Amino acid sequence: MPRVVALARARFAVGVACVALAAGLLLVEVPKEARSSDGTLEFYAYVKTAQERLLTTGDGLDIPLLLQVAALEKIPSDSDYALLVPATQELAARHGIGQITYDSVAPWFLYLMLPAEPTSPARARYVICWRCDMAAWSRRVVWVWREDSSMGIGRVRR
């Protein structure tokens, strides 16, 4: 009988220890998570408008914010455009464009630029150049916005 009592006390002690551990974790981890989420909210506190919310999504895909803003400002909504990016993901990687970004940049601009429509570079009235060879386009394009030598928005000369 003493053995049964000792076993019952041991089980009780283990149960109390588990409950105490759970309560301790709750008291320590919940405030940490609350502070963590406050930091996230503070990080995105600049997002005030629908356009900022939209552009933050593209920025989260590592598509340059300035390129998105320039495309929206410089390309008329009733126009068409061609997106000029490196031809392969391997070339894009050499320019610091990751796989997910490379795969999502064309669909993202399709969504962002609506109702403007993407088309081939030969038919486009505007080009969005991101890590493309802008010098090769200089005879055919008037650059209406440039960030550097490989990122810009151009109007095609007709």
How is the chain split into domains, by residue range? 1-45, 51-156
d(CA 87, CA 136): 14
pLDDT of residue 106: 97
Q: Are strands 141-148 and 117-118 parallel, antiparallel or unpaired?
A: unpaired
- CA 16 to chain CA centroid, Å, is 47
Q: In this model, does residue 43 exceed pLDDT 60?
A: yes
- Give φ, ψ of 115 to 5 degrees: -90, 5
pLDDT of residue 2: 72
Q: Which of 128, 123, 99, 100 is nearest to 113 (CA)?
A: 128
Identity of the highest mean pLDDT range in 4-8, 17-21, 33-37, 150-154: 150-154
Mind listing the pLDDT tens digit for each residue in 74-89? 999 999 999 999 999 9
Q: In this model, does residue 38 exceed pLDDT 60?
A: no
Q: Are strands 80-84 and 126-130 parallel, antiparallel or unpaired?
A: parallel
pLDDT of residue 42: 65
d(CA 119, CA 126): 10
pLDDT of residue 158: 84
Q: In this model, does residue 99 exceed pLDDT 70?
A: yes
pTM above 0.95, yes or no: no
Q: Give the chain's mean pLDDT.
A: 85
Q: Which of 125, 123, 121, 131 is nearest to 152 (CA)?
A: 131
Greater pLDDT, 155 or 7: 155
Beta sheet of 126-130, edge-to-edge order: 117-118, 80-84, 126-130, 151-156, 141-148
Reported as a pLDDT band with limits 50, 70 and 90, residue 151 is very high
d(CA 43, CA 79): 35
